Structure 1
Amino acid sequence: MLDLNRLKALHAVSVYGSVGAAADALMVTASAVSQQLAKLERETGATLLERNGRGVRLTDAAGLLADHAERILALVETAEADFEALRGEVVGRLSIAAFPTAARGLMPAALTYLHERHPDLRLEMFEREPERQVREVARGELDLAVIQDWMNRPLAIPEGLSRATLFDDVADAILPAGHPMAGRPEIELAELAGERWISSSPGTICHDWLVHTLRAAELEPDITCRADEYPTQLALVAAGQGCAIIPRLGRDFVPEGVRVVPIRPRPIRKIYAIWRSDAARRPAIRAAVDALRAVSADHR
């Protein structure tokens, strides 16, 4: 009989392309993955991995078995979800990820909400960028994730995932207090032509969104400061180093020397919870979504 853990190891190598990457995803050692695959080879009587340069590749037999493993693991997840739904108990392990701003602004309250109401639920939280969250939920490495999705630069959500909207997060212009437009009730981005900008690191979703948004307003971004944490960006604005655009969820504290000015039209990012549709019947998933909706009420 085929062992489920060994099939899981083979499936991970198939998805991630190497034993080391599969081990990272499964949170075990590379040696443990290799041992599982060696046992699976003895069980099946087939060679599963072949040398390919410095790495390995799956044989035809391994590819066939990995395809079956993907379906088997999906069925196991559905069976577990159905069994939990039958019992109606919020128990077991639930892994949740959130992008950095939501990890700070939403997750502490959401985790407390869940702990108080469901003490037998084991919670694990991770901070992740949205693209990575989507991949890890789709692959079954995470049970649920909180992602951001800018309306003018949407994030692709693959088939097989369900989602629930939590709230819309509006972004505003952040200007030094001495800026000529700091006292305005609202501005258009085009009015900020020629300004220096403060942004997140290149390659992050927030940096790419800012560049896209400024260029859509026919402004060529002159980014002079790069900082991933919004409090750092606010401090740089207060020091007169440039302007920024920061969502309201990211503004825990606005320091002296900074003015927040709404932008017309409003830049909006939708905050979603996503999970695998096959696991939707799990009471733990429903409880987590309810908790996120409850703690999001103040942001709506």
Structure 2
Amino acid sequence: MDIARLRALRELSSRQTMAAVAEALFLTPSAVSQQIAQLEEEAGVKLIERQGRGVRLTKAGEVLVEHTERMLLVLDEAKSDLAQIKREVAGVIRVAAFPTVAAALLPRAINALKLSYPYLDVVLEELEPAEGLASLSSWQTDVAFVDDLSLKLGGKQKNIEQVSVLNDVLYVMLPSGHRLASQVSLSVSDLRNERWALDSASSFYAQFVVNLCRRAGYEPQVNAAGRGFEIVSAMVAAGCSVTVIPGLRMAHRIEGVVAVKLRPEIGRKISVAYRKGERGHPAIKVFVDQVVRSAAEIAVA
């Protein structure tokens, strides 16, 4: 059985439509459909069946995906073993990271790696945790940063491992001249009458903040929904809004704002995830080790 067709079936088990699989594998939907049809011919049994606008796997398809997971794990282990034999940390490592990690942590880590391993090229792509995890599972990236605030690693990611990088806590970001700026801590209830700026680029995080307000008994008055932190921070610095941000956002000084710890404390654990079969890959190992060291340096600073 062709490994590319098996991978297409595996993607179909989680994405459920030919179009979604095609996008993940950089193919056309008709090419994916043809691969599945050829795989069914090779297997001699139906592997999928229509369900509404999508498809679902038959029992035979589910069994074949389980075997595919093990085969792909072994292939990753083989690549890692060969890389160890070469004894050279080189090549390209593709990294998926959400904005706070990408801005606060990765430049420091990548620069340190460049000095120690000049033949290792790190390519960074900004993706939210769920997107990064999907990209990792589809072999589109080699490592992905995730946090436990926005997702949990479930059964569908059984071939994914993660290493804890750092713990982050949330802060209220206020204009420096705000009447509450001198407080040691603030609750979401204290911000009931404020106008809010939210980063809508991360739909999950924006909804998380809205839900914090709703649990405090009110609907936030949102006067800015920017696709990125630049607009949010500008609105707060100008005195137009307040917001809730991860502590990592304050790793770089922002003029005109202050950060006050949220009460009660809300934290998140940030981890770096990779495929189990590549745990011994030299490039993955040095990258993860350096990220952990760089995170410790940020915590000390």
TM-score of the two chains, using structure 1 as the length reference: 0.80
Alignment-derived partner of residue 254 in structure 2: 254
**Is 233-242 or 48-57 further displaced after alignment?**
48-57
The answer (yes or no) to whether the contact 1:94–1:284 under 8 Å persists in 2 is yes
Deviation at 1:98, TM superposition (A): 0.5
Paired position in structure 2 for 1:73: 72
User: How many Å apart are 1:45 and its aligned residue?
Assistant: 5.4
Distance 1:84 1:255, change over 3 A: same
**Are the counterparts in 2 of residues 162 and 275 from structure 1 also a CA contact under 8 Å?**
yes
Say which is worse superposed, 133-142 or 273-282, in terms of deviation: 133-142
Q: Which residue of 2 aligns with 1:27?
A: 26
Q: CA deviation at 1:65?
A: 3.5
Q: Which runs of 5+ in 2 are unaligned?
A: none
Equivalent position of 1:187 in the other structure: 185
Equivalent-residue separation in structure 1 for 2:208 and 2:48 (angstroms): 41
Alignment CA distance shift 1:219-1:202 (3 Å):
farther
- Give the match's secondary structure for 2:178: coil
CA offset digits 1:210-269 (Å, max 9, x no partner):
23433455554333322242221121123332211222322434233x333344444433
Segment of structure 1 superposing worse, 224-233 or 210-219 = 210-219
Match of 2:83 in 1: 84
Count of matched residue pairs: 294
SS of equivalent residue, structure 2 residue 165: strand
Q: State the TM-score, normalized to the length of structure 2.
A: 0.79
Q: CA deviation at 1:80?
A: 2.6
Q: Take 2:151 and 2:133, find their aligned partners in 1: how far apart are those partners?
A: 9
1:7-156 aligned at under 5 Å gives the runs: 7-34=6-33, 36-37=35-36, 39-40=38-39, 43-44=42-43, 62-138=61-137, 140-150=139-149, 155-156=151-152
Counterpart amino acid of residue 158 in structure 1: G
Unmatched tracts of structure 1, length 5 or more:
none
Q: Which amino acid is the alignment partner of residue 83 of structure 2?
A: E
Task: Specify the SS of the correspondent of 1:157.
Answer: coil
In structure 2, relative to structure 1, the CA distance for the partners of 1:35 and 1:119 (3 Å cut) is farther
SS at match of 1:261: strand
How far does residue 140 in structure 1 lie from its aligned partner after superposition?
Answer: 4.5
- The 1:91/1:46 distance shift into structure 2, 3 A limit, reads farther
Letter of the 1:292 counterpart = V
| CA displacement 1:147-201 (0-9 Å, x = unmatched) | 2334xxx73123533322222333322223442222x141321333322222222
Change (3 A) 1:44 1:264: closer
